[in-house]
Amino acid sequence: MDKSKLSVDPVIPNLYRKAREEGISTVFDRYEAQQPQCGFGLTGLCCRHCVQGPCRIDPFGEGPQAGICGATAEVITARNLLRQVTAGAAAHVDHAYDVLEVLEQIAQGTESYSIKDQEKLKQVAFTLGIDTANKTEQEIVEEMCQIIYRDFANSGATPMTYLKANSPRERLETWEKLGVLPRNPDREIREALHQTTMGMDADPVNLILKTIRLGLVDGFAGLKLATDLQDIIFGTPQPVVTEANLGVLKEDYVNIIVHGHVPLLSEKIVEWSRKLEDEAKKAGAKGINLAGICCTGNEVLMRQGVPLATNFLAQELAIITGAVDLMVVDVQCIMPSLAEIAACYHTRLVTTMPIVKIPGAEHVPFTTETADEASQQIVRMAIESYQKRNPAKVYIPREKAKVVAGFSVEAIVKALAKLNPDDPLKPLIDNIVSGNILGVVATVGCNNVKVKHDWFHIELVKELIKNNVLVVTTGCSAHALAKAGLMDPAAAEWAGEGLRAVLTAIGTANDLGGPLPPVLHMGSCVDNSRIGDLVIAVANYLKVSPKDLPIAASAPEYQHEKALSIGTWAVAMGIMTHLGVVPPVVGSSKVTRILTQDAEALIGGKFYVETDPYKAAAGIIEHIKAKRALLNL
Ligand code: NFS
Ligand code: SF4
């Protein structure tokens, strides 16, 4: 494959060539081997929901227009989308539930974890209506767990407490009117799977409304719940300075990479890498160097300043440096190919979760009870592995970028408070009103091998900031922008004049000796809930609905089902959500029209599909300007 077409990340071509020379195939080669990909699948027109199938609908109208059971294009595409969004929501809810169990174990006295952020605990307790006066920390945690567990045990029609407690009234009314308020999240996931089996729902509108409901399940029982509880246990992020790209690997250190999503594991690896530093020195290394990939990388970057190795699409190339002594993974976005590639080097690949085992990897079971022992064992395995590293196979790229990250809502408010201690949101709002900030866009989501790696993220964001749009970001989008230097305060130079002035004013007021970066890293994909919180705070301040704000979201290179469920939640929040990759629904013009047009009148948000970054930027800016006009700005 032509190296120049793979990525805009400067480290990729050399590593890709190294892989080829060593006879290793990567995601790029496997993608090529899959060409041409099936047109029925690409457009969502293939159904395998029963064993009479697979059935396919001819998009050109010449062949069959219904599956064997009679399901039409609109039924099949809507049903497939609902299944994907349900799977995405299930992944996030399962993640949040794991953290909830640990919170409960803290109340029961486990020594593996503790409460780091009492402030956040009180804030979440307050939101849930818990009276914290005269209660011990343990009592507050117990009560909080009970309330949240009740959502998961609820057998009636009552909507989820966690959603109700965290949503603006106008949104709740809209969702109620549409009949999309979720009840018990587990029940919603179960029902959606039922609803999409053979011989069930054949009404595309009803299927799409259920999809929106599952988006809300994701947003509140997944994203918001996970972020809140993780902040309580591990602390709410505050600004950190670190670095990004494979240049963060170090030749004479034990290099450990954490990859996956849930900080329960990665935080422990950080802790034990620091504690076992001396053992690494005894083994001849200068110390232990930790770096992250994917969203668990974001979690430890935001809270611990751990540097970022790379994002989703380059996870294999990290191993191809030959300098990774051990890669430890938990859940989600882990390519099964890693085991085969690690076997070509001294790299040890370690799985830790009962639901993620990869033949060829070593498995070290990780539970709350074994968290400390397992983490020590894994760090020691890395130290052993370091001694087997083959210098002849090592190539560490030089490239890395400076990153200022850690922008939780709390951190943003704290920075703004330096400008106006009594009314911290006012400077932000004033600058939006004056037009210094034209609007705010969240770029989120993955890499997708169908798009030149990182290219869409970077080009889109450069266009936006040039036009005075403030960009907040999470996930692998944040990684792309970090590696491209957009989280270095020096990148404020690329921002338009108005935005640059605001970034400089905030930076100066906070004694940063320069501006804030034009792109604010708000965390992992579950931390999209932070963006939701910020949107709600600004909307409440202005006494409008989130749907009225001059904002948008974009998933330029998304691939995962989780990205589809997050996008659906954003649309349900009233936010126009751009997709840079065509979603597999275009086989039905009706379903496409509902999602990209009709949705706006119903719920305030809609999907906007555009595969050219410059046109997408223009479309987003046009949307922001239209929203400003409606607010008389
Ligand atoms: Ni989000 Fe994060 Fe990356 Fe996509 Fe995967 S790591 S949870 S799904 S690929 S952004
Ligand atoms: Fe075909 Fe209907 Fe079965 Fe789907 S559910 S595979 S369309 S017969």
How big is the chain, counted in residues?
633
Q: What is the pLDDT of residues 347-376, one digit of tens each?
A: 999 999 999 999 999 999 999 999 999 999
For residue 465, count CB atoms less than 10 angstroms from its CB and return exposed for 0-12, middle for 13-18, buried for 19 or more.
buried
* Per-residue CA distances from 7 to 33, 127, 455, 459, 601 (Å): 18, 44, 7, 12, 38
Domain locations along the chain: 3-56, 73-234, 246-393, 404-631
Cβ of residue 202 lying under 6 Å from some atom of ligand 2? no
Atom of ligand 1 nearest to the CA of 474: 10
Strand partners, 92: none
φ/ψ of 435, rounded to 5, equals: 95, -5
DSSP three-state, residue 293:
strand
User: Do 596 and 411 touch, CB atoms closer than 8 A?
Assistant: no
Which of 95, 223, 261, 295 should be mutated for ligand 1, with most atoms under 8 A from CB? 295
Distance CA 71, CA 57 (A): 9
**Residue ID of nearest Cα to ligand 2 atom 6:** 53
Q: What is the pLDDT of residues 40-58, one digit of tens each?
A: 999 999 999 999 999 999 9
Closest to 579 measured CA to CA, from 450, 408, 467, 466: 450
Distance CA 438, CA 394 (A): 47
CA of 477 to the centre of ligand 1 (A): 9
* Per-residue CA distances from 87 to 74, 383, 406, 609, 625 (Å): 20, 37, 29, 22, 35
Closest to 264 measured CA to CA, from 293, 233, 310: 233
Q: What tokens does 421 get?
A: 């201690």
Cβ of residue 49 lying under 6 Å from some atom of ligand 2? yes
Per-residue pLDDT band at 5 (split at 50, 70, 90): confident
* Spacing of C-alpha 445 from chain mean position: 5
Q: What is the pLDDT of residues 69-81, one digit of tens each?
A: 999 999 999 999 9
Does 2 have pLDDT greater than 80?
A: no
pLDDT (0 to 100) of residue 512: 86
The interface predicted TM-score of the complex, written ipTM, equals 0.95
Pick one of 3.40.50.2030, 3.30.70.1450, 2.60.40.10, 1.20.1440.230 as the CATH number of 404-631: 3.40.50.2030
Closest to 477 measured CA to CA, from 415, 515, 540, 522: 522
Atom of ligand 2 nearest to the CA of 68: 8
Q: What is the pLDDT of residues 216-265, one digit of tens each?
A: 999 999 999 999 999 999 999 999 999 999 999 999 999 999 999 999 99
pLDDT (0 to 100) of residue 4: 77
CB atoms within 10 A of CB 334: 24
Strand partners, 453: 7
Per-residue pLDDT band at 593 (split at 50, 70, 90): very high
pLDDT (0 to 100) of residue 423: 97
Q: What is the pLDDT of residues 489-538, one digit of tens each?
A: 999 999 999 999 999 999 999 988 899 999 999 999 999 999 999 999 99
Angle subtended by helix axes 425-434 and 528-542, to nearest 10 = 80
pLDDT (0 to 100) of residue 288: 98
CA of 365 to the centre of ligand 1 (A): 23
The answer to whether domain 246-393 and domain 404-631 are alike in fold is yes
- Three-state secondary structure string covering 336-364: CCHHHHHCCCCCEEEECECCECCCCCEEC
- The architecture of the domain spanning 73-234 is Up-down Bundle (1.20)
Q: Give the strands of the sheet with 577-579, arranged side by side.
A: 519-523, 469-474, 439-443, 551-555, 577-579, 607-609
φ/ψ of 54, rounded to 5, equals: -65, 145
- CATH class for domain 246-393? alpha beta
Cβ of residue 92 lying under 6 Å from some atom of ligand 1? no
